Amino acid sequence: MQVGMTSFKARAKSALADATLKTAIDRTAGNAETKRATAVGEFPQFDAARRRGRKIKDHVIANLEHYLTQFERNAIASGAKVHWARTSQEASRIVIDICKAANAKSVTRSKSMLGEEIGLPHALEAAGIERVETDLAEHIVQLADETPSHIVWPAMHKTREQVAELFKSQHQELPASDAIPDLVESARKDLRRKFLNADVGISGANFLIADTGAICTVTNEGNAELTTTPPKVHIVTAGIEKLVPSLGHAFMLLRLLVRSATGGDFTQYTTFHCGPKRPEDADGPEEFHIVLVDNGRTKMRRELPEMLRCIRCGACMNHCVVYRQIGGHAYGATYPGPMGSVLTPVLDGLKQSRELPHACTLNGKCAEVCPVEIPLPSLLRGWRERSWKEGLEPVTVRAGIGGWAFVARRPGLYHMATAIAVRLMRLFKRGGRIAWMPFAGGWTEYRDLPAPPKKTFINAYHASRRGAKP
């Protein structure tokens, strides 16, 4: 997905003015934050586990060629067809071609952020194929004709009242009331017949198991299995960084993923899919396709290898003070929040997304909760530096920082300037605080500025040094 036409600032401003959005985000992200803290508290080995998780990911990234070819060999042996895609367009085209070859009219999809990344919803629509989103949140987002605002809870931005409106206007089985269980029941009935009538089921993969050629999906709803079992064709789209050496390694990462994402210990349904239906099997798809997608990942391995550790748990966004205020849509990209602000410049280009790495207070919370120890604040700072070096920062910012640097490098001038500034600021002080001052509206609109003391720090320091002399 491309960054939208409006600027990040404009989107953030309108998001900040949306009180309903704030309510919706707080209800889910607040819940997730509390539950994660409890789950991690009940798992004293968490820190040792995340160091191990990080090592597993680093080992795979360092040996990616080995694991990709091993996975491919085993997947083919299981009867799967393996496809490779360099770009999002190539990946979408492969999926659409498989759907067309299967004469597909209706396709069910189990939530996959990679599918969003490669623009699959749009590609299916352009090909005239009916798309049925089966994850409840993705279903809500589809009815609202929107995009996901979170990688684990795509409909985090919706309140139950808004969901009720959508279901009442678009479901055949109307909800009995606005209560959440009635809303879920209404979606259950609406989606069930669609599961059984689909020609193709498309899923992502949380892990690709190199030594068996299996792929792993995790859901709490069971929609992945309902998506992948009834149709004749199952297509998996997965980023090449999803590999793990074996089932044992997948389990180590699953312990981290689930606790970090939802605060559960294990997802309700953790399923390993290996090849198409066997001759003796009671059910399953006749064709099993795996599309391995690069889309910037080989480049990331050279420039941002730590980011390839990401297991898409969403903890960084749940704990981000910026995300919690503006929600996912304001970022205008497939992946929101801290991990999104690191990934989007790779996927969409730094020129289009240079504002995102700035939407960060560098409070370090994201790195603190990351289950694979990705140094997100450092990576965000890296993009800021690169944006500066490549001359992408706007003229006003460059001039402002240039002017500040000119003064800051000249101590005499700096002390003079700060002494004048302090005096000017004190002209606006009312009872120790500044409620309004020219050029400070952005600050004083929401809170007062404490008035500076009479002397600057340097003046006070020199005065005390003089006083201290014998």
> 449-450 and 433-434: which strand pairing?
antiparallel
Among 172, 283, 432, 469, binds another protein (CB under 8 A): 283
Nearer of residues 182 and 448 to another protein, judged by Cβ: 182
CB of 52 to another protein, least distance (A): 5
On whether the CB atoms of residues 121 and 131 are closer than 8 A, the answer is: yes
Task: Compute the 3-state secondary structure of the chain and give helix, strand, coil in percent, each to the nearest 5.
Answer: 55, 10, 35
Nearer of residues 280 and 445 to another protein, judged by Cβ: 280
Nearer of residues 12 and 40 to another protein, judged by Cβ: 40
Among 17, 19, 45, 128, binds another protein (CB under 8 A): 45
Q: Would you state the structure tokens that stand for residue 338, as one six-digit string? A: 């801290």
- H/E stretch holding 90 reads helix 88-101
Q: Is 428 in the site for another protein (CB under 8 A)?
A: no
The piece of 279-287, 324-332, 344-352, 397-405 that touches another protein (CB under 8 A) is: 279-287
CA 217 to chain centre: 18
Using CB under 8 A, which residues numbered 323 to 362 contact another protein?
none
Using CB under 8 A, which residues numbered 175 to 194 contact another protein?
180-181, 183-185, 187-188, 191-192
Nearer of residues 78 and 418 to another protein, judged by Cβ: 78
Q: Is 170 in the site for another protein (CB under 8 A)?
A: no
Q: How far apart are CA 53 and CA 373, in angstroms?
A: 9
Q: How far apart are CA 435 and CA 443, in angstroms?
A: 9
Among 6, 168, 265, 400, binds another protein (CB under 8 A): 265
Binding-site string for another protein from residue 46 to residue 65, where x marks contact by CB under 8 A and - marks none: --xx--x--xx-xx-xxxxx
Using CB under 8 A, which residues numbered 121 to 160 contact another protein?
134-137, 140, 153-155, 158-160
Nearer of residues 46 and 331 to another protein, judged by Cβ: 46
Q: Is 239 in the site for another protein (CB under 8 A)?
A: no
Neighbours of 441 (CB within 10 A): 10
Among 15, 226, 235, 346, binds another protein (CB under 8 A): 226
Nearer of residues 271 and 344 to another protein, judged by Cβ: 271
Residues in binding contact with another protein, number by CB under 8 A: 105
Neighbours of 366 (CB within 10 A): 29
Binding-site string for another protein from residue 65 to residue 104, where x marks contact by CB under 8 A and - marks none: xx-xx--------x----xxxx---x---x----------
Q: How far apart are CA 123 and CA 237, in angstroms?
A: 14
Bridge partners, residue 315, by sequence = none
| Torsion of the alpha carbons at 408, 410, 416 and 422, rounded to the nearest 10 | 10
- CB within 8 A of 104, min separation 6: which ones? 129, 199, 200, 233
Could you give phi then psi for residue 156, rounded to 5 degrees?
A: -60, -25
Using CB under 8 A, which residues numbered 300 to 319 contact another protein?
301-303, 305-306
Among 121, 204, 239, 245, binds another protein (CB under 8 A): 245
* Three-class SS state of 164: helix
